[in-house]
Structure 1
Amino acid sequence: MVVQGDKIIDAATFAQIEEYFTSALTIDKHKRFDWIEKTLRHDTSLLQEVRSLLLAHHASDTFLTTPFPVKKTINKITERCPDLTGRRLGVYEVIRKIASGGMGRIYSAKRSDGEYEQVVAIKVVEVSNINIELFLKERQLLADIQHPNIVTLLDGGTLEEGFPYLVMELVDGMPIDAYIDCYQLSPTEIVTLCRDLCQVIDDAHQQGIIHCDLKPDNILVINKGRRKGTLKLLDFGIAHSSKPSSKPYVGITPEYASPQRHQSHVPHRSDDVFSLGIIFGQLLSGKPLTLTEKTNAIKKPYKTADIAALSRHIKNKELKLIFKKATADKRQARYHSASEFQADLNNWLDEKPINAVQGGWWYFYSKYIYRYRNFLLIILIFALFSLTVGQIAGQYFEQQESAELRQESRQDDADEAVEDLDRLLATIPHTPSLEQEVTTLTMNRLHEWEQENPKNQTIKIHYADILIRMGNISGHPYYMNLGYIDKARDYYQQALDIYKNLANREEAQLSTSTQQSILINQSFIRHRLAELSLYDESQSAVEGWKAMRSIREALNIENFVALPSKQRLFVLQMLLAEAYESLRIHAYADTWELLQKAQQLLAEDDISPAKRFKEVQYLNAFYHEITGHLYFLKGNINAALGTYTKIMRPNSDSTAIETGRYRYLITRVDSAFACMGFQQKSPQMKLQHFKYFEYARINLENLAKEYIDVPLLQRQSKRMNLTDKNKFCSDPIKFLLPPAGKKPD
Structure 2
Amino acid sequence: MNSERWQQVKQLLEEAIALDVSERRPYLDRACAADGELRNEVESLLSSHEQAGTGFLKSPAIDLTSAPPVPTRPGGRIGPYQIVAEIGHGGMGDVYGAFRADGQYEKQVAIKIVRRGSDTRSVLERFFKERQILASLDHQNIARLLDGGTTEDGVPYLVMELIEGEPIDQYCDAHELTITQRLEIFRQICSAVQYAHQRLVIHRDIKPSNILVTADGIPKLLDFGIAKILDPSGTAQTTITMAMTPEYASPEQVRGEAITTATDVYSLGVVLYQLLTGYSPYGGTTSTPHELARAICEHEPERPSTAILKTEARSSGERVPTVPQAAGHARERSPARLRRRLAGDLDNIVLKAMRKEPQRRYASVEQFAEDIRRHLEGLPVTAAPDSLGYRVSKFVRRHSVGVAATALIVLTVLGGVTATVREAQIARAQRTRAEKRFNDVRKLANSLMFDIHDSVANLPGSTPARKLIVQNSLEYLDSLAQESSGDPSLQRELATAYEKVGEVQGDIVTANLGDTAGTLASYRKALAIRRAVAQANPGSVEDRIALGGSLRHLCRFQLEAIGDLASALESCQQAVAATAAALQLDPANQKGREELIEDYTDLGSVQSGNGTGGNLNDPAAGLESYRQALAVAEQLAKDAPSDLGRKRLLATLEGQTADSLLETGERVEALRHFQQARAIFEQLAASDSIARLNSVVVLHYIGDVFVVDEKFSDAHAYYSKELELASSISAADPKNIAGRMLLAGANINLGYCLVEMNRVREGITRLNLALGQMNELLKTSGAHQVQTDIALAEVFLGQGYEHLNDSASAFRHYSQAFETYSAITRADPKDAGIRVNLAQLYDRFGGVYVKSGDTTKAEAQYRQALEIADSLVSASPRNVEALYAQANTYAGLGDLSIALAQTVPRGPVRSKHTADAQDWYTKSLSTWQKVLNPSRISPKGFEVHSPSEVARRLSECKAGLAPANKPVVNRAP
What TM-score does the superposition give when structure 1 sets the normalisation length? 0.41
> Which structure exhibits the higher relative contact order, with contacts defined as CA atoms closer than 8 Å and separated by 6 or more residues?
1
Considering fraction of residues, name the structure with more helix.
2
**Which protein shows a greater Rg?**
2
